[in-house]
Amino acid sequence: MAVKHICCIGAGYVGGPTMAVIAQKCPDIKVTVVDINEKRIAAWNHEDLSKLPVYEPGLDEVVKEARGRNLFFSTEVDKAIEEAEMIFISVNTPTKTYGKGKGMAADLKYIELCARQIARVSKSDKIVVEKSTLPVRTASAIKSILENTGNNVNFQILSNPEFLAEGTAIQDLHAPDRVLIGGETSAEGERAIQELVDVYSQWVPKENILTTNVWSSELSKLTANAFLAQRVSSINALSELCEKTGADVNEVAKAIGMDSRIGPKFLKSSVGFGGSCFQKDILNLVYIAKTYGLNEVADYWEQVIIMNDHQKRRFANNIVSTLYNTVSGKKIAFLGWAFKKDTNDTRESAAIYVADDLLNEQAQIAAFDPKVEEEQMYADLDYLNTRSSDENRKGLSVFKDPYEACKDAHAVAVLTEWEEFKEYDWKRIYDNMQKPAFVFDGRGILDKKLLNNLGFVYYRIGEGAQEAMEVQASH
Ligand code: UDX
Ligand code: UDX
């Protein structure tokens, strides 16, 4: 049986781009992406492709090619489930905010709702694919729900974690390092795996498609994110030591990255990692380890999060102490709010936490991001519940023009590594700022020499200050 209809529940940052590329590469398969959020579906169907709910370079072109041909976005979940032979679950699995495992475990309520809906609606055999990142052994929970409440149809559960990174989603989907598919080791399981292999092999070389058992697949996704995040926390830990000793973290990263055993990627020191996955998946890993009584394993991985929180706080503290120990009433311009460049996603972005700390110090924040909407920034701050929504609106103003955001500011803080920040007219920015004019580069992207020559006091994460070297020399 070749799959002819695919349904995906969840039209988010993962479901939307992934299904768009499957539809683009498999014109014979009808792909329907459904979501309970009507506004989101309307945005996916918007005539103007710049209004898609997810900003990803190249996504508009893919949607333009496939939408209406074999790619559809809809809120009719039951209908799409019924029609499909293969159903992807790509709904969000946030960290639990209540009860057992609060603040750590993944909240699986949406996954369970999806499973129950699939069970209720299905009248023919289905292959259910977990696309959402899930704790190990979730597949068996889904299977149990499907088998006990279904209409006597057969279900096969596959785990097919998505490794795309936001900002490069289309590139990653077009040419993935690997596609991972986990399934049951029975004959039915193997047949289901093969069905999904056949979908991907329409554009992914066979040798890049890896098949494993379900639990290895589920655990591999958590492990991949934990390893990546760990590299960022490791280099960020060293960035603080660099600042104290006069070393330069970029030079250290380059030197160690040339060791082929270490490799050059994911060694960019920053104001701290963000995104919807790293923190959530590590917390999840920590929770799973604790559940099995593996406290040392849990503590080991938790340290990656502790380091990341420290890095964000340290950045904010450094701004306060450098600005003569007070930012009260001072305008601080934020360049960037997204958790990385080339995305409008702000989930867990370091900018939110740095803003929160500076607002506690009564700073006036003026934010500019090329892709993030004003309301999103307020929603991010409100979500922390640190102060009232009104107070957040008084403390943060959002600008559509970066030069306006920086005007009369005491300091500029770079929170996201958007390319355009490098190209700004920094002389114009300098001329319109309070003096001394400070720049805190949390991404290490600006031209230090140029900024120093213009008169800025420039601070870059992980770069030893001149004074540190002088202190050392005097010892
Ligand atoms: C999500 C998970 O967070 C991630 O772990 C997983 O790897 C992929 O799916 P993402 O696509 O970034 O990532 O989440 P999000 O952008 O929030 O999209 C989820 C969508 O599911 C939302 O649009 C939401 O409305 C929808 N949803 C949620 C449903 O359609 N039904 C539900 O019951 C719950
Ligand atoms: C990550 C994984 O890369 C991807 O495989 C998985 O599917 C989802 O989680 P994503 O969160 O979209 O993807 O982006 P990623 O590029 O991994 O960046 C995560 C965070 O780490 C960002 O805030 C980024 O700025 C930061 N980062 C990354 C650094 O600070 N330094 C680096 O060297 C790399």
Place 443 in a pLDDT band, splitting at 50, 70 and 90: very high
* E strand or H helix at 398: strand 396-398
Atom of ligand 2 nearest to the CA of 267: 33
What digits encode the pLDDT tens for the residues 374-426?
999 999 999 999 999 999 999 999 999 999 999 999 999 999 999 999 999 99
For ligand 2, atom 14, which residue shows the shortest CA distance? 165
For the Cβ of 168 lying below 6 angstroms from any atom of ligand 2, the answer is no
| Res. 341: pLDDT tops 60 | yes
Atom of ligand 1 nearest to the CA of 35: 30
Structure confidence at residue 161 (pLDDT)? 95
In the reported structure, the alpha carbon of residue 123 is separated from the centroid of ligand 2 by a whole-number distance in angstroms of: 40
Residues 26 and 64 sit within 8 Å (Cβ to Cβ): no
Please state, in angstroms and as integers, the Cα–Cα distance from residue 177 to each residue in 199, 206, 215, 314, following that order.
17, 12, 20, 35
- The torsion angles phi and psi of 394, rounded to 5 degrees, stand at -75, -35
CA angle 146, 158, 282 (to 5 degrees): 100
Structure confidence at residue 141 (pLDDT)? 87
In the reported structure, the alpha carbon of residue 233 is separated from the centroid of ligand 2 by a whole-number distance in angstroms of: 12
Can you read off the two tokens belonging to residue 385?
């519940």
For ligand 2, atom 25, which residue shows the shortest CA distance? 340
In three-state secondary structure terms, 292 is coil
| Res. 471: pLDDT tops 80 | no
Q: Where are the alpha helices (DSSP H) in 100-201?
A: 109-121, 138-149, 169-174, 187-200
Kindly report the average pLDDT of the chain as a whole number: 95
- Of the CA atoms within 13 Å of residue 26, those in its CB half-sphere come to 25
Instruction: Identify the weakest region by mean pLDDT among 12-16, 151-155, 309-313, 427-431.
Output: 151-155
In the reported structure, the alpha carbon of residue 210 is separated from the centroid of ligand 2 by a whole-number distance in angstroms of: 22
Atom of ligand 1 nearest to the CA of 15: 11
| Cα 289 from Cα 183, distance rounded (Å) | 23
What digits encode the pLDDT tens for the residues 4-18?
999 999 999 999 999
For the Cβ of 444 lying below 6 angstroms from any atom of ligand 2, the answer is no
For ligand 1, atom 1, which residue shows the shortest CA distance? 92
Q: What is the mean pLDDT of residues 74-87?
A: 97
Question: Known catalytic residues?
Answer: 277
| Res. 468: pLDDT tops 50 | no
Q: Please count the helices (runs of H) and the strands (runs of E) in the chain.
A: 20, 14
In the reported structure, the alpha carbon of residue 320 is separated from the centroid of ligand 2 by a whole-number distance in angstroms of: 27
Can you read off the two tokens belonging to residue 375?
């309301």
| Res. 469: pLDDT tops 60 | no
Structure confidence at residue 375 (pLDDT)? 97
Structure confidence at residue 416 (pLDDT)? 98
Mutation choice for ligand 1 from 92, 93, 111, 222, CB with most ligand atoms inside 8 A: 92
Q: In 3D, which of 315, 288, 297, 303 has the Cα closest to residue 414? A: 315
Mutation choice for ligand 2 from 228, 265, 445, CB with most ligand atoms inside 8 A: 228
> Which-ligand-closest: CA of 73?
1
Share of the chain above pLDDT 90, in %: 90
Structure confidence at residue 470 (pLDDT)? 54
Q: What is the mean pLDDT of residues 365-381?
A: 97
Share of the chain above pLDDT 70, in %: 97
Place 147 in a pLDDT band, splitting at 50, 70 and 90: confident
For ligand 2, atom 2, which residue shows the shortest CA distance? 165
In the reported structure, the alpha carbon of residue 282 is separated from the centroid of ligand 2 by a whole-number distance in angstroms of: 13
Structure confidence at residue 474 (pLDDT)? 56
Pocket (CB within 6 angstroms of ligand 1): 9-15, 35-37, 40, 90-93, 110, 113-114, 131-133, 162, 276
CA 290 from centre of chain: 25
CA angle 79, 132, 136 (to 5 degrees): 125
For the Cβ of 345 lying below 6 angstroms from any atom of ligand 2, the answer is no
Contacts of 89 (CB under 8 A, 6+ apart): 8, 9, 10, 111, 114, 115, 128, 129, 130, 131, 132, 142
Can you read off the two tokens belonging to residue 68?
């209406």
In the reported structure, the alpha carbon of residue 208 is separated from the centroid of ligand 2 by a whole-number distance in angstroms of: 22
Structure confidence at residue 473 (pLDDT)? 55
Contacts of 237 (CB under 8 A, 6+ apart): 307
Q: What is the mean pLDDT of residues 97-101?
A: 92
What digits encode the pLDDT tens for the residues 280-297?
999 999 999 999 999 999
Q: What is the DSSP string of 230-254?
A: HHHHHHHHHHHHHHHHT-BHHHHHH
For the Cβ of 171 lying below 6 angstroms from any atom of ligand 2, the answer is no
Structure confidence at residue 84 (pLDDT)? 98
Place 446 in a pLDDT band, splitting at 50, 70 and 90: very high
Can you read off the two tokens belonging to residue 147?
């088998």
Q: How far apart are the first and last CA of the chain?
A: 76
| Res. 55: pLDDT tops 80 | yes
For the Cβ of 270 lying below 6 angstroms from any atom of ligand 2, the answer is yes
| Res. 466: pLDDT tops 90 | no
CA angle 188, 193, 196 (to 5 degrees): 130
